[in-house]
Amino acid sequence: MDQNNQRVVFVSCMLICLLVNFNTVVPQVEARAFFVFGDSLVDNGNNNYLATTARADSYPYGIDYPTHRATGRFSNGLNMPDLISERIGSQPTLPYLSPELNGEALLVGANFASAGIGILNDTGIQFFNIIRITRQLQYFEQYQQRVSALIGEEETVRLVNEALYLMTLGGNDFVNNYFLVPFSARSRQFRLPDYVVYLISEYRKILARLYELGARRVLVTGTGPLGCVPAELAQHSRNGECYAELQEAANLFNPQLVDLLGQLNSEIGSDVFISANAFAMNMDFIGNPEAYGFATSKVACCGQGPYNGIGLCTPASNICPNRDAYVFWDAFHPSDRANRLIVERFMIGSSEYMHPMNLSTIMLLDSRT
């Protein structure tokens, strides 16, 4: 090799090395980003960082999580967002308040959810310091500024537009507001049907804001069968029947939510909002637990009192040995195994469950554009 050739090799190596370096300096967006908003059904641990009583950061929460440690998820193992992340090929979303959510980790997305919150600001006031939904949306704006500093504005807009979103809200506006105490302020202000209309009108503003902030594919879950959770059975049920008033609330709310999403989609001219029928998904195995391999859908795995539905799940509670045999992990929240069945329906459910389409169809559509 003469000197000229050596120089060519050296220079081209420098160029290649520079290119390779350049590629590692500017972080690349890998899988589709995922953003999560809402309440305890989808909180991955934000409340761990807050002075609130709504928390799941100690044993036995997380007993079946890969690390077997409590993370702030209201589950014995994984929750809905974790299982959706798995399906879209992403890492689980970190809580927005986690100090680990920095640098390239930001590109995976973020989880802004906070246990105890609702559509209304006065929902969950008994939990003190929680991240209300308007605040979650402000954090999402702040997130976008942080990502812009990392990958530039244009790429950030792309990441945000191409991401998948999950919004889970509404249950607490009944359980931890209207029905929290007899003669609650909201129940004196509104008859139940009028309260639902009010909730939907406030929810419209929240979803419209999320669209304004760049969301283009949003899974919105209706409320589950609120009257069938062990906490309600413990307070209101004689023979294990679901509490009718809360079931009625869910039955009023859910169809109006589906209508709202349809209206928003037609105003936008695109299927941005996808409704997930959490009520039907849960009722399948609440109505017939044995058919899905559950021993019970009435008794919580972790808790105390009738149906293990009284008070919190703590180290002093009864804890069932086989969590997979229980629909409910604690008095309000599904077990890891129930969450898996729910997310299975998100993926491949018929239009009764996912409207206008399921997540596998969404992934196929969005991979083409």
Ligand X SMILES: *[C@@H]1O[C@H](CO)[C@@H](O)[C@H](O)[C@H]1NC(C)=O
Instruction: Name the residue nearer to ligand X (CB basis): 120 or 257.
Output: 120
User: Residue from 155, 202, 245, 344 that binds ligand X (CB under 6 A)?
Assistant: 202
Q: How many other CB atoms are found less than 10 A from the CB of residue 202?
A: 15
Instruction: Name the residue nearer to ligand X (CB basis): 87 or 236.
Output: 87
**Least distance (Å) between residue 169 CB and ligand X:** 13
- Strand (E) positions, the chain? 34-38, 109-111, 164-168, 218-221, 273-276, 302-303, 318-319, 354-355
User: With binding defined as CB under 6 A, does residue 189 bind ligand X?
Assistant: no
Taking each helix axis from N to C end, the angle separating 133-151 and 192-212, rounded to the nearest 10 degrees, works out to 10
330 has catalytic annotation: yes
Which 337-356 positions form the footprint of ligand X (CB under 6 A)? 348, 350-351
Instruction: Name the residue nearer to ligand X (CB basis): 28 or 201.
Output: 201
User: Residue from 27, 262, 361, 363 that binds ligand X (CB under 6 A)?
Assistant: 361
**Least distance (Å) between residue 350 CB and ligand X:** 5
Catalytic residue among 90, 330, 335, 336: 330
Instruction: Name the residue nearer to ligand X (CB basis): 202 or 324.
Output: 202
333 has catalytic annotation: yes
With CA atoms as reference, report the closest residue to 73 among 101, 32, 105, 114.
114
Instruction: Name the residue nearer to ligand X (CB basis): 46 or 71.
Output: 46
Which 24-63 positions form the footprint of ligand X (CB under 6 A)? none
With CA atoms as reference, report the closest residue to 118 among 128, 131, 107, 106.
131
User: Residue from 58, 187, 314, 360 that binds ligand X (CB under 6 A)?
Assistant: 360
- Residues forming a β-bridge with 220: 167, 275
Catalytic residue among 75, 114, 317, 333: 333
By rule CB under 6 A, what count of residues binds ligand X?
Answer: 10
236 has catalytic annotation: no
Q: How far apart, in whole angstroms, are the C-alpha atoms of residue 246 and residue 175?
A: 8
Cβ-proximal residues to 296 (8 Å cutoff; 6+ apart), any chain: 289, 325, 326, 327
User: With binding defined as CB under 6 A, does residue 121 bind ligand X?
Assistant: yes
**DSSP sequence for 31-47:** SPPEEEEESTTT-SSGG
Strand, coil or helix: 303? strand
Query: Contact at 8 Å (CB) between 222 and 277?
Result: yes
The contact pattern for ligand X, residues 129-158, with x = CB under 6 A and - = no contact, is -----x------------------------
Query: Contact at 8 Å (CB) between 36 and 112?
Result: yes
- Give the active site residues: 40, 330, 333
Site residues (CB under 6 A) for ligand X?
Answer: 121, 134, 202, 348, 350-351, 357-358, 360-361
